[in-house]
Structure formats: structure tokens, C-alpha cells
């Protein structure tokens, strides 16, 4: 898993948390997740994030309704606003069918109040410090299985 993959996973999780019909841009979404969107744009990675996010959102059954025309001049592709449309945008457990699942976070995260709240709420599950290509991405809070 690359840094971009983990960023995309975080962005998709943030999309899941936002209410259906929210208007936002990739740039604002990146900043909401605690990353420096300006720095990412400076190094040319914002266009790749936009493309990868669109694909990941589609897999998560979230439609990003991009606006074709805007009245404001936009410097970066990630500043184009979109509307979030959720089409059952949850990862159902393949074992029990529950939608009460959490994203598994691997590595050595800095535990802060926000992360601790997400762990207690069952939105994030800590997966340990060893990371491989075959690690499960979700955890079912109901049956306890990883998938």
C-alpha cells in the first residue's frame, strides 16, 4: 500500500461520513483529512488523487457529481466542486451482511483525540504495525471478521 493508496482510503472514508448531497472539492476533502492539499498540488499529485478518488468512490458505491461549469476561476483540478451521492455507500460484511464495518488502519498511527473517537465509535479498527499487500481493509463490528 502506497501513501497515495492510504490517502485515497481516508478520502473515501471521509466521503462516507459526510451527508448525502454535500458539495465539496477534492482540495477541501484532502484538507479535512489533515493533509496539505497545496503541497500535494505543488508536486503535481492532485490530478492523480482526483482520478484515483473517482475510481475508489465508484467502487464504494459513491457517485461524485462533478460540476461542468463554475463561475469562479479555479487554479487546480482538485478545486472543482462536486456533490456526493451515496448509493448504499457502505462495505457490507461478506460473512454476515452487516453494514456496521470499520476501516482497518495499519502502521503506527499517532493516537490523537479524533482517532481515539473513531476507534471508540467503530469507524476505525487498528490493524497492527506489520503491513503487507494482502491485509484486509475492513473489519465487521458485528461478527468480528476481517475482509
| Residue 71 scores a pLDDT above 60 | no
77 and 103, same structural domain? no
Of the residues 86, 112, 132, which one is the last residue of a structural domain? 86
Structure pTM? 0.57
21 and 38, same structural domain? yes
Residue 121: its pLDDT value, please? 92
82 and 94, same structural domain? no
Q: How far apart are CA 34 and CA 138, in angstroms?
A: 22
Q: How distant, in Å, are the alpha carbons of 72, 91, 134 from that of 104?
A: 38, 12, 13
Of the residues 86, 110, 126, which one is the last residue of a structural domain? 86
Q: Taking residues 102-125, what's their average pLDDT?
A: 90
8 and 62, same structural domain? yes
Structural domain span for residue 144: 90-147
122 and 96, same structural domain? yes
Confidence of residue 141 (pLDDT cuts 50, 70, 90): very high
81 and 11, same structural domain? yes
Q: In this predicted model, what pLDDT tens digit does every residue of 15-34 receive, in sequence order?
A: 988 888 888 988 899 999 88
Residue 46: its pLDDT value, please? 81
Amino acid at each position: 500500500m502506497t501513501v497515495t493508496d492510504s490517502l485515497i482510503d481516508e478520502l473515501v472514508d471521509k466521503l462516507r461520513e459526510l451527508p448525502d448531497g454535500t458539495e465539496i472539492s477534492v482540495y477541501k476533502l484532502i484538507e479535512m483529512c489533515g493533509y496539505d492539499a497545496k503541497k500535494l498540488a505543488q508536486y503535481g499529485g492532485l490530478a492523480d488523487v482526483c482520478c484515483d478518488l473517482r475510481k475508489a468512490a465508484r467502487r464504494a458505491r459513491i457517485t461524485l457529481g462533478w460540476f461542468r461549469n463554475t463561475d469562479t476561476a479555479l487554479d487546480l483540478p482538485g478545486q472543482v466542486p462536486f456533490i456526493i451521492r451515496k448509493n448504499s455507500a457502505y462495505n457490507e460484511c461478506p460473512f454476515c451482511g452487516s453494514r456496521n464495518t470499520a476501516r482497518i488502519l495499519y502502521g503506527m498511527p499517532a493516537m490523537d483525540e479524533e482517532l481515539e473517537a473513531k476507534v471508540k465509535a467503530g469507524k476505525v479498527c487498528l490493524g497492527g504495525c506489520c503491513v503487507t499487500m494482502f491485509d484486509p481493509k475492513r473489519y465487521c463490528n458485528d461478527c468480528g471478521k476481517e475482509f
